[in-house]
A = this chain, B = another copy of it.
Amino acid sequence: MKLQLLGTADVRQVPVYGCDCRACRRARREPAAVRRPCSALLAVAGERYLIDGGLSDLCERFPPGTLQGILLTHYHMDHVQGLFHLRWGKAEPLPVYGPDDPDGCADLYKHPGMLSFQPPLEPFQPLQLGAVELVPLPLAHSKPTFGYLFRAAGSSAAYLTDTKGLPPETERFLQQQSPDLLVIDCSSPPGVANRNHNNLDEVLAIRRAVNPHRLVLTHLSHKMDLWLLDNPLPAGVVAGHDGMCLEL
């Protein structure tokens, strides 16, 4: 099982348009420091599933036949934006899985094109996709949102974004799993409150509760990047970056 982080930004991305902070200036100089919309690619036994569709170049990255499905965490624009173009393609229907959100985003449900929206996933009800089993985990966000636990070949990875803290039942479920890898929303530096996203304090509280083997931060804001320029992360915590490959 391989999880590649395709994008690791919060909604504003890095660099933020017009921002002159050190983190945004660095991202304009160094392509490796750019953060694009939060998304990932799960590869297991020759199959590939896209987790969230916020990247604007999905059509170039994934020619027809290279994806077996799309998993959505939720229907905020920065997580689905790339689907608005992809949907008009000439290709086999592509299954899309996600939470029960009657609103969806704009006219995606009304005009799905080649996207084949599947019945909403049920919290904690496992779904087998090829060689991977996924478990949808309710998160605490401003729109119905699922994180996912992936299990394959004796390994497990939890991908939890977007969220502020964890609902108690999701935290209890993950405590029982102790996943090998936890990839989690860490939008803000410690001490900085954010209504719908974790800061680093909240991430560390979740780590204490869930006890994953490895912990990787995603959904980072330019303010989190600015903080990282001057501060080390606690031992065992790694900041994700666009393109990062996590092997299990």
Residues in chain A within 8 A of chain B (CB atoms): 11-13, 16-20, 56-57, 59, 63-64, 77-78, 81, 84-86, 88-91, 105-107, 114
Contacts and interface: CB of A to CB of B under 8 A. Distances in A.
Contact of A17 (B89, B106, B107): B89
Contacts of A11: 88
Contacts of A20: 90
What is the predominant secondary structure among interface residues of chain A facing chain B? loop
A35 to B, nearest CB: 12
A85 B14 CA distance: 11
A17 B84 contact: no
A56 B59 contact: no
Given A12-B89, A77-B84, A77-B107, 16 more contacts: A11-B88, A16-B88, A17-B59, A17-B85, A17-B89, A18-B64, A18-B90, A18-B91, A18-B114, A19-B89, A19-B90, A56-B56, A56-B57, A78-B84, A81-B81, A106-B106
Contacts of A63: 18
Q: Which of A13, A56, A90, A105 has the most CB of B within 10 A?
A: A90
Contacts of A18: 63-64, 89-91, 114
A13 B84 CA distance: 11
A86 B85 CA distance: 18
Nearest to A17: B89
Nearest to A21: B90
A84 B85 contact: no
A242 to B, nearest CB: 15
A110 to B, nearest CB: 11
